[in-house]
Amino acid sequence: MCHFLRFLAISALTVAGLQAADRRIVLIAGRPSHPPGMHEFRAGCLLLQKALSGVPGITVEVYSNGWPTHVDASGKTVDHSEVLDGAAAVVIYADGGGGHPALQPGHTEVLDRLAASGTGLGFAHFGVEVPKGPAGAAMHRWVGGYYEHEYSVNPMWSPEYTTFPNHPVTRGVHPFSNRDEWYFNMRWIDEAAAKARVTPLLVSTPSDKVRQGPYVYPPGPYPHIVAASGRAETMMWAYERPNGGRSFGFTGGHTHANWGNPDQRKIVLNALLWAAHAEVPANGVESTVTDSDLRQNLDTKK
């Protein structure tokens, strides 16, 4: 009997360990915007979901057209924020500014609650931009920095990512470059906190020509950007929140075809696992994306 009880106890611990290893990652894909091949939030999220489908203990859910909603019995579309409860990480890849999914009524409070519970958070491309003020303060709480209109810039350029810090998110990532709307000059939290909690992951030095514009919008140039000639800039970062929660910001992702780049894809897949407190493989997340994959699930656009 003692052996049987011991067996039950070991089995229970094993099951508990397996359950503890399970992680659910939620990707919120924004509504269609921009011309075809740009801001393909849904298609991009579905590619990331497929790339993580073989990782043990990881489940990825994609919610399209912005914040999760559902249709009730009366046919009315209502908020479905409860699907985020219990997620190991929630990542928003969507248009930002005043229409940012996180800024709509009640959503900031939801993300604050999730962040307080230790849920990982991530924001990609336009999703790192919010208006300064309360929204900017929220991004400082969640991810340590954000794109501030007419302080940050959004040129189309080809940064060279040649060196990476020793961090789980950079495992297996090789030097790469692609042309995209890579934002830089984020509005960071205060210097001491940034030094302690922000880890730059994708860093490159824009040429003076890039700094002088034109930027995508407004075209610039901005004197403070030009004056920073020669300074390296951060286009992706990891943030360790004071309560132990993990977050990341990624400013690329404007051009859908760039998800075909294995190193861009790997560093974001690694970040998804890291934010969810899951183990990142020693060589990073391996995945394959074909030209056919890149043509799947594109939004219907005029």
* Distance of alpha carbon 37 from alpha carbon 21, whole angstroms: 36
Residues sharing a CB contact under 8 Å with residue 5, sequence separation 6 or more, in sequence order: none
pLDDT computed for residue 172 by the predictor: 98
- Is the omega angle on the peptide bond into residue 214 within 30 degrees of 0, that is, cis? yes
Per-residue pLDDT of the chain (302 residues), as tens digits, is 444 334 333 333 333 333 445 899 999 999 999 999 999 999 999 999 999 999 999 999 999 999 998 878 777 878 889 999 999 999 999 999 999 999 999 999 999 999 999 999 999 999 999 999 999 999 999 999 999 999 999 999 999 999 999 999 999 999 999 999 999 999 999 999 899 999 999 999 999 999 999 999 999 999 999 999 999 999 999 999 999 999 999 999 999 999 999 999 999 999 999 999 999 999 999 999 999 999 999 999 87
Q: Is the pTM of this model over 0.85?
A: yes
Q: In terms of C-beta density within 10 A (0-12 exposed, 13-18 middle, 19 or more buried), how is residue 18 classed?
A: exposed
Report the amino acid identity of residue 113.
R
With beta carbons less than 8 A apart as the criterion, state whether 26 and 87 touch.
yes
pLDDT computed for residue 73 by the predictor: 78
DSSP classification of residue 204: E
Residues sharing a CB contact under 8 Å with residue 198, sequence separation 6 or more, in sequence order: 144, 145, 188, 189, 237, 238, 239
pLDDT computed for residue 78 by the predictor: 82
Kind and range of the H or E run holding 115: helix 107-116
* Distance of alpha carbon 288 from alpha carbon 131, whole angstroms: 37
Closest to 50 measured CA to CA, from 84, 70, 34, 27: 27
Domain annotation for the chain: domains and CATH numbers: 23-66+84-294 (3.40.50.880)
φ/ψ (deg, to 5) at 193: -70, -40
pLDDT computed for residue 236 by the predictor: 98
